[in-house]
Each structure stands twice: as C-alpha cells, then as structure tokens.
C-alpha cells in the first residue's frame, strides 16, 4: 500500500492501526455497555453489482484517457465506493457496495477531463470527481437514477506543482496532489500551505477546494477557501478560469461559486493558492480552564482583540476527561477544560508571551508544552482509533457546526442534548465530547464526537441521532456544517438553511454549466 491508497474498509495504512488501550476498553464496557464487535468482511466478499456500462461507453472513455486508465476491476470499484464516514464504513465492512461506480476513470489532464465530461453527457453517465476519498458526508455517493451508469473520476494523475510565484507568494497545484506531497513540493521553495486538517495524510488539493476545508492552523493561516486566489474548472460546456487578481470588483467572485461546490458544477483542475514562508519555529502548548464557558470567553478575546495564535482548540469537560485517561498524557487538566494553543513564525516568543497574558487574566493555568506537543504528534491518529472502536462494537462518529459568539453556548447545549436524548431513546447511552477548533472575530465552530454501543441497526441508529442534531442546529441558528461539507448527508439541512430561492438559483447555475446533470447528482443540491 502506498501513502496515497487507503485501507478499503477503514482509514489509512493498516500498519498504523492502533488497538484500544485497556483503560478505554474498560470505559466502553462499564459506562456504555459496549460488548463484542464484528470484524469486516474480506475484499473478495464485498457484494458488487455487475458493471452497468456497455463496451461502447467503456471504449469511448478509453479513447479519452487510454484503455489502461479505465478500470472496472472489483478492487478499484470497491476502493472508490463512498467515503469514510462511519455509516460508509459500517456498510462496506458488512460487504455492501450496491452503489459502487461501474468504472474508475483516471484522466491525466484538463483536456482529457473535458472529453470525459462530453462523453458522459452524450452517454448519460454520472461522474463523481474523486480526490482522496476522505468525505464523511456522503460526498461520493452519487444518485444513479436516470443514468446508464456511474464512473469515479479519479484525479490522482493530476498531481503536479504547476508554478510557484515567490514574489506574490502563490503556488498553482493540480487537484490530485495529496496534502503531504504538496508540502514536500513547496518545501524546496521555502513555502508551506499551512493547511493541516485531520484528513491531511490522504486528502487532496482539489478536495480541499471543493469542500471548503479547514485545518488545525486556521486561526493563523485561514481556511482553505480563504487561501485560494485562482481556479481552473472543467465543465461539460467548457472551461472557466476564475481569479485574475487578489481582489476584484468585476462582478460576483466566481471563485466562491466553485469553492464548496463538491464537484456538482465542474471539476476543479488547477488551484492557485496563497503560500507562506516555512516558519522557523513552531510551539504548541496547553492551558487549563475551570469551565468550558470560561474558556470560550478567553478564546473569543484572542480572536477579537489578539494576539491570535496559529492554533486555538478548546475541549469541553467531557473531552478533556477522556483525553486525560489515555496513557502517556498528563492528568493536569483533569476536572477542567484543556486548551491547545500553537504558534508558528519568526516572532513566536513575543506572540506567545502576549497571548499568555490574555489567557492568565481569563483565569487559565499554563500546563507547558508536553501536552500540546503530544496532541500535535497524535493529531492524525484519531481515525485509526475509530476503526478500533468499530472492531470492539462501539459506534464512533463526528459532526460539526458553527455560529456567532453570542449563540455558541446555547448551540453547544442544544446539539449535545439532542445527541444524548436520541441515543438514550435508542437504548445506547452515549459519550458526547466537544471542542472549539476554529475561531473568528465574530464566532467559532463546535466539533462533536459521539461514542456509544452499536445497536442492531447502527446505520439507522446514527442517522436518527444525526437528524436530531441537525434539527437542533437549525433551531439554534447554527450552520449545518463548518468544514465537512454537505454531500448527501446534509442535503436536507442545507435546503432548510439557505431556503428555496437560493437553492433554485444554484440549480439554475448547474443547469447552465451541466445541462445533463451528470456531475455528482444528488450531492449538495439534492
């Protein structure tokens, strides 16, 4: 397995799988009633439907990208089935692949993508742009109805650093470049993207743009959509170039039309993004607050009045308690709320000292760098833990939202209450954890993690809990997603959030750019 290919039935490289620690297993059994789990089927036991595309369609696609780059093997189809949400994993682990693509098509250029889209329109074939395969909201589960078949358009061959402009501090990358490779390509030029979401090891540049991704260092570097200054997009009707200057008054910003479009309006084939000089110093430290609300007030002060660190993350009492029972981590924050604060740059000491004064005045206790550095080292391990939890018989899933500061605590209480009530009613008392992970002058995000025993029908179990949480989010004035995107899972909530008039406008744009409706049907716009 290469670094660019994930385990088909779980997350990442199987060599990095992490078994549950005895303390955590004990907590699952005693507090949540988790018992024996079920291991996934083997790949050859996955139930695949027959390839629906006829030889003429496959030959046309082969003529566009080369026959060797049209793959209908079982393994390729399974590896491009859905994404990596817990529901996705529950289904694939049970051998369910009824919505697998009929073929995986691997173009090598913008022009080849244009040809594939033309063929797909003429032949009525749905096309699902595929980057790293890390979607957790059903963003790769296209609707098949009305189409003769579905292809996954794997962008992995579009993996070049096209240009670096050191004067303007921008770089142009193709969409298939994975995040670690982007950092490796930029490093010799002395630059970094500074974009490190939890999906970093496998996510792609195109995916970051198409989903409006946000990374752990968003306070310092911004969200990915903040960083993008230019896009090239292939649509079934031709090419769109957006972004001639850093800012413009030449009409609405078309970059924003495609950022977050999730492959429904076009296929992003090049991204020009702001880059920053590689920081000479990075420090990550921990602080303790007596309460979550007190910690929220403190990080709000940093976000509004500065100085703003590069990383700002605040766990509630429940998440802090779970983190501090893990071997190798201090219990210094036990009984309170743990904040992780990180600094990048050439003036780390000055910013760190100034931010520390704000935190101390807000009642925080410094815990030093040990906990902070441990968090940074383990940043990308959590998805592996989810696989181990599923093996043990526990459901583990996440959801996120955001709102303005004045509504953050009510939103937190409403969503947490909805999750607890829904899963209690299902007979599976949950452990619900939360943290603030992205802060702005006007508000912040909330990221919830839910762990409970698997019910007899765990897919229905989670979907009911998610529906309850979504209703609570909308009622409390939050957004149904801060950085996970909409996909299929959030489509109903998205319609409620933006309203019918705005949805109609977006559908009109899609009809203009994609008259055959072939691009990721059912995703985002329903």
pLDDT in tens, 311-327: 999 999 999 998 876 54
Q: Can you give the pTM of this predicted structure? A: 0.95
> If we measure between CA atoms, which residue out of 422, 421, 416, 413 comes closest to residue 463?
422
The tally of domains found in the chain comes to: 2
For residue 207, the enclosing domain spans 161-277
Interatomic CA distance for residues 69 and 401, integer angstroms: 39
Give the residue-averaged pLDDT of 55-74: 98
Task: Tell me, yes or no, whether 303 and 345 share the same domain.
Answer: yes
Q: Do residues 487 and 138 touch, judged by C-beta distance below 8 A?
A: yes
Has residue 511 got a pLDDT over 60?
yes
pLDDT in tens, 212-240: 999 999 999 999 999 999 999 999 999 99
Residue 141 lies in a domain: no
Residue 138 lies in a domain: no
Among 343, 377, 411, which residue terminates a domain? 377
Task: Tell me, yes or no, whether 264 and 353 share the same domain.
Answer: no
Which of 3-12, 65-74, 169-178, 357-366 bottoms out in mean pLDDT, i.e. has the lowest?
Answer: 3-12
pLDDT in tens, 112-156: 999 999 999 999 999 999 999 999 999 999 999 999 999 999 999
Interatomic CA distance for residues 379 and 215, integer angstroms: 11
Give the residue-averaged pLDDT of 338-361: 96
Residue 255 lies in a domain: yes
Q: Do residues 445 and 438 touch, judged by C-beta distance below 8 A?
A: yes
Residue 25: the pLDDT is: 84
Among 215, 247, 277, which residue terminates a domain? 277
Task: Tell me, yes or no, whether 289 and 338 share the same domain.
Answer: yes
Task: Tell me, yes or no, whether 165 and 263 share the same domain.
Answer: yes
What residues are paired with 287 via a beta bridge? 339, 366
Residue 36: the pLDDT is: 79
Residue 316 lies in a domain: yes
- Give the 3-state secondary structure of residue 81: coil
pLDDT in tens, 404-417: 999 999 999 999 99
Task: Tell me, yes or no, whether 262 and 291 share the same domain.
Answer: no
Has residue 370 got a pLDDT over 90?
yes
Task: Tell me, yes or no, whether 271 and 171 share the same domain.
Answer: yes
Tokens of 316: 């509630």
Strand ordering across the sheet containing 70-71: 70-71, 103-105, 149-154, 125-130
Task: Tell me, yes or no, whether 292 and 339 share the same domain.
Answer: yes
Burial class of residue 175, CB neighbours in 10 A (0-12, 13-18, 19+): buried
pLDDT in tens, 3-58: 567 899 999 998 888 888 888 888 899 889 998 788 899 999 999 999 999 999 99
Task: Tell me, yes or no, whether 285 and 273 share the same domain.
Answer: no
Has residue 333 got a pLDDT over 70?
no
Task: Tell me, yes or no, whether 291 and 372 share the same domain.
Answer: yes
Q: Do residues 428 and 452 touch, judged by C-beta distance below 8 A?
A: yes
Task: Tell me, yes or no, whether 185 and 212 share the same domain.
Answer: yes
Task: Tell me, yes or no, whether 266 and 321 share the same domain.
Answer: no
Q: Would you place residue 462 in the very low, low, confident or very high pLDDT band (cuts 50, 70, 90)?
A: very high
pLDDT in tens, 485-499: 999 999 999 999 999
Task: Identify the sign of the CA torsion 89, 12, 450, 480.
Answer: negative
Give the residue-averaged pLDDT of 433-448: 98
Residue 443 lies in a domain: no
Residue 51 lies in a domain: no
Interatomic CA distance for residues 190 and 470, integer angstroms: 43
Residue 373 lies in a domain: yes
Residue 510 lies in a domain: no
Using only C-alpha atoms, what is the Rg of the chain?
Answer: 23
Task: Tell me, yes or no, whether 305 and 271 share the same domain.
Answer: no
């Amino acid at each position: 397995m290469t670094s660019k290919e994930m385990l088909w039935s779980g997350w990442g490289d199987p060599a990095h799988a992490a078994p549950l620690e005895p303390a955590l297993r004990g907590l699952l059994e005693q507090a949540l009633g988790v018992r024996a789990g079920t291991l996934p089927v083997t790949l050859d036991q996955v139930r695949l439907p027959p390839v629906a595309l006829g030889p003429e369609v496959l030959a046309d696609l082969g003529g566009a990208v080369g026959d060797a780059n049209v793959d209908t093997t079982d393994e390729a189809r399974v590896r491009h089935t859905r994404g990596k949400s817990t529901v996705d994993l529950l289904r694939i682990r049970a051998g369910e692949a009824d919505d697998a693509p009929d073929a995986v098509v691997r173009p090598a250029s913008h022009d080849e993508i244009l040809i594939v889209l033309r063929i797909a329109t003429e032949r009525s074939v749905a096309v699902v742009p595929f980057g790293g395969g890390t979607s957790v909201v059903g963003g790769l589960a296209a609707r098949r109805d009305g189409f003769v078949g579905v292809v996954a358009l794997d962008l992995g061959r579009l993996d070049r650093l096209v240009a670096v402009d050191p004067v303007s501090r921008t770089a142009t990358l193709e969409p298939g470049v994975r995040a670690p490779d982007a950092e490796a390509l930029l490093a010799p030029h002395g630059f970094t993207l500074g974009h490190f979401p939890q999906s970093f090891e496998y996510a792609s540049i195109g995916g970051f743009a198409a989903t409006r991704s946000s990374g752990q260092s968003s306070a310092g570097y911004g969200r990915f959509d903040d960083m993008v200054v230019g896009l090239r997009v292939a649509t079934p009707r031709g090419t769109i170039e957006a972004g001639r200057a850093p800012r413009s008054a030449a009409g609405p910003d078309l970059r924003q039309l495609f950022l977050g479009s999730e492959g429904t309006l076009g296929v992003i084939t090049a991204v020009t993004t702001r880059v920053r000089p590689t920081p000479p110093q990075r420090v990550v430290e921990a602080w303790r607050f007596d309460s979550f609300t007190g910690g929220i007030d403190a990080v709000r002060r940093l976000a509004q009045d500065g100085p703003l660190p590069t990383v700002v993350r605040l766990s509630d009492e429940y998440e802090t308690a779970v983190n501090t029972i893990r071997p190798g981590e201090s219990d210094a924050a036990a009984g309170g709320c743990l904040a992780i604060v990180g600094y990048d740059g050439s003036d780390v000491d000055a910013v760190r000292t100034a931010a520390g004064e704000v935190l101390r005045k807000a009642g925080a206790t410094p815990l030093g760098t040990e906990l902070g550095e441990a968090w940074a080292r383990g940043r990308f391990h959590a998805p592996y833990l989810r696989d181990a939890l599923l093996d043990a018989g526990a459901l583990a899933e996440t959801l996120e939202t955001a709102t303005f500061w004045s509504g953050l605590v009510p939103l937190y209480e409403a969503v947490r209450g909805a999750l607890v009530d829904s899963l209690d009613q299902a007979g599976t008392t949950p452990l619900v954890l939360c943290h603030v992970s992205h802060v702005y002058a006007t508000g912040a995000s909330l990221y919830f993690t839910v762990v409970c025993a698997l019910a007899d029908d765990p897919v229905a179990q989670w979907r009911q809990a998610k529906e309850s949480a979504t209703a609570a989010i909308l009622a409390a004035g939050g957004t149904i997603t801060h950085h996970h995107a909409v996909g299929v899972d959030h489509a109903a909530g998205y319609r409620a959030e933006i309203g019918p008039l705005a949805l109609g406008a977006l559908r009109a744009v899609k009809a203009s750019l994609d008259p055959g409706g072939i691009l990721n049907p059912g995703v985002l716009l329903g």
